Amino acid sequence: MPSNRAVAYKGPGRVEVIETPYPDFELHDGPGVNPANIGRRVDHGVVLRTVATNICGSDQHMVRGRTTAPADLVLGHEITGEVVEKGRDVEFIQVGDLVSVPFNIACGRCRNCKEGKTGVCLNVNPDRPGSAYGYVDMGGWVGGQAEYVLVPYADWNLLKFPDRDQAMEKILDLAMLSDIFPTGFHGAVSAKVGPGSTVYIAGAGPVGLAAAAGSMLLGAAAVIVGDLNAQRLEQARSFGCETVDLTKGDPQDQIEQILGVPEVDAAVDAVGFEARGHGAHAGEAPATVLNSLMGVTAAGGALGIPGLYVTGDPGGVDEAAKVGSLSLRLGLGWAKSLSFTTGQCPVMRYNRQLMMAILHDRVHIAKAVNATPISLDDAPRGYHEFDEGAARKYVLNPNDYIKAA
């Protein structure tokens, strides 16, 4: 049986590469595993040899100590891999298939899955709807920043790439299908972006840049990205976005300079609960983004909110923030008849279409987010540099599939 190495959360600010068990078709006790899931059979699953597994901003929230994640939790929910073993109940996925794994774990059998709400599957997390690999309070499914990973409900969850050689030529683009590209695209779709739309996206991290690329794919006329990080704003400009420097204050005046009016048709929150205020020396102010988006979105418009908000934040700025309670200008949103869409992106709603856009050169998402492959052993460095604001999307290459690494 092969050995298995993985990236684990060791405490605030610390990740390490550890030895971890090779997956089998049963859930075992371990850090963060829900007791009700221990002993659960996964004959409907497959074992993947990991091709690419990305560092996500959502992982960073845990690594900063801003969640209740336990030490030794194996991280990683953005997974692309090759099937090396299949459970006895897997019918259509075969050993040797190259696949993308939606970060949402979904059974395909419950009411929500049948309605396409795969981000809130009712059967994979005993505590609440919705689950993900390697994430706090998500049922304890082992993460995929590892050499090998178990994926349940394989026939339902996995997106098979149609041609292996073509897929490997575009593997950095296709590696974005597990989370950030569908998530950013979902933010744009939820904000009702369409041909001729003007869009403001708060946050120039990978999800914000994916939302910008998705907005362009949807036909937006002007895509404006705001951030406090100059390097990330430069990355946004590299593929045609207008930018707003939030160290200079509220975005409204800068939006007016770009568009001639101080409002946009649609807005996306790609920041989440660790938002900072506007201005050069602003501190953390978790309601800033949502309140500013309500201000800059035209009456009757919509907000897509793929940015992560949590129910428990030990590092929150006040007691309300520690339980996910924010001071929102809901009256303004109501008065302007704004609509809001929150929650996990249902990846399966979009991933096949976005795969086809990648394979047919309609979008170059890896270039947009500056996808940068590194080795598994370099994961601690990648986490540190990403936390320092590097304008990159780090892609771990644990089994040397990616030649560029």
- The letter for the amino acid at 197 is S
- 34 in Cβ contact with 139 (< 8 Å): yes
- 266 in Cβ contact with 296 (< 8 Å): no
Beta bridge partners of 49: 82, 148
pLDDT at site 32 = 86
- 100 in Cβ contact with 80 (< 8 Å): yes
pLDDT at site 212 = 98
pLDDT at site 33 = 87
pLDDT at site 405 = 40
pLDDT at site 101 = 98
pLDDT at site 34 = 85
List per-residue pLDDT tens for the chain, 405 residues long: 788 999 999 999 999 999 999 999 999 999 988 888 899 999 999 999 999 999 999 899 899 988 888 999 999 999 999 999 999 999 999 999 999 999 999 999 999 999 999 999 999 999 999 999 999 888 889 999 999 999 999 999 999 999 999 999 999 999 999 999 999 999 999 999 999 999 999 999 999 999 999 999 999 999 999 999 999 999 999 999 999 999 999 999 999 999 999 999 999 999 998 888 998 888 888 899 999 999 999 999 999 999 989 888 888 888 988 888 889 999 999 999 999 999 999 999 999 999 999 999 999 999 999 999 999 999 999 999 999 999 999 999 999 999 854
Distance CA 400, CA 230 (A): 32
Express each pLDDT in 190-211 by its tens digit: 999 999 999 999 999 999 999 9
Exposed / middle / buried, residue 3 (Cβ in 10 Å: 0-12, 13-18, 19+): exposed
Domains of the chain: 5-179+346-396 (3.90.180.10), 180-342 (3.40.50.720)
